[in-house]
Chains A and B, each alone.
Chain A
Amino acid sequence: MHVEYNIEGGDFTRAGYASSQIKKILKQSGVDMDIIRRTVVASYEAEVNIVAHAHGGAISMEVDENQIRIVLQDVGPGIEDIDKAMEEGYSTASCAVREMGFGAGMGLSNMKKNADMLRIESEPGKGTRVEILMGLGKEEILRSKK
């Protein structure tokens, strides 16, 4: 199964739409609820990052019996220093974004904590690609139940 959604940069009224569609699809597919919850935390944070920082982008999801693979690709400023960005509390968000309660520097660590595998590649000045993998094998289900 493959789905794809566009994400508009700066449009906070639509932020979270793609992640809520993803949640619906995974629920209908009968994926374990704990895995769904972890998946949408990671996808929501990645989606909001595009809205908050990039000009625009797209999120796609592929699901098979073994895994959920979510890829977010944006056109935007990119991330200068990914290690720094991964630090909890570090943020480059604008004041307006922070006033809404975003930009606390917790997004990427939420993604890391909840994804089974997280890969971030970025080219400053061009854009960022984020890949989130969630395993659907028996081991992962046991892990998520802990």
Chain B
Amino acid sequence: MKALGLTVYSGEKGLDRRVSGGYVSDLLSDVMGNADEGQVWVTLQTHKNVMAIASLKDLAAVILVSGHKPDVNTAHQSEEEAIPVLGTHLSAFDVTGKMYELIKK
């Protein structure tokens, strides 16, 4: 996470979750249908339903790209579920590229 320079917005308690990979999408049903447990979800969606999906799918964390910040109730639910919401000024392409390099190692 430090290597990616991510901001922790909420859900710090969950930062020790094991990461199995990542999934990049802004379509919620796409994530619901195709993401796997333990993945980090890269998106620009900031509303609370993101956390409902992250929790139902047992995702490791959510990364909001391009400077997007979580809605207040999104951050609140992230705390409750202990699923971190992280942020970056990078685009989805750039942050995913960096993350891919890290995970591959």
Contact = CB atoms under 8 A, between A and B. Distances in A.
Interface stretch (A13-21, A55-63, A75-83): A13-21
Contacts, number: 64
B56 A100 contact: no
Interface stretch (A37-45, A66-74, A117-125, A130-138): A37-45
Contact of B27 (A19, A45, A104): A104
A15 B47 CA distance: 11
Interface size grouping (class) on chain B: 20 to 34
Contacts of B49: 12, 15-16, 48, 100-102
Nearest to B27: A104
A17 B56 CA distance: 10
A40 B56 contact: yes
Interface of B: 26-30, 32-33, 37, 43, 45, 47-49, 52-53, 55-58, 73
26 contacts: A12-B47, A12-B49, A16-B52, A16-B53, A16-B56, A19-B56, A20-B55, A20-B56, A37-B37, A41-B32, A41-B56, A44-B32, A44-B52, A45-B29, A100-B49, A101-B26, A101-B27, A102-B49, A104-B27, A104-B28, A104-B30, A106-B32, A106-B33, A107-B29, A109-B33, A110-B29
A126 interface: no
A20 B45 contact: no
Contacts of B73: 13
A114 B57 CA distance: 13
A110 B47 contact: no
A114 B58 CA distance: 16
Given A44-B32, A106-B30, A106-B33, A100 B52 contact: no
B51 to A, nearest CB: 8
Of B28, B48, B57, B73, most A-chain CB atoms within 10 Å = B28
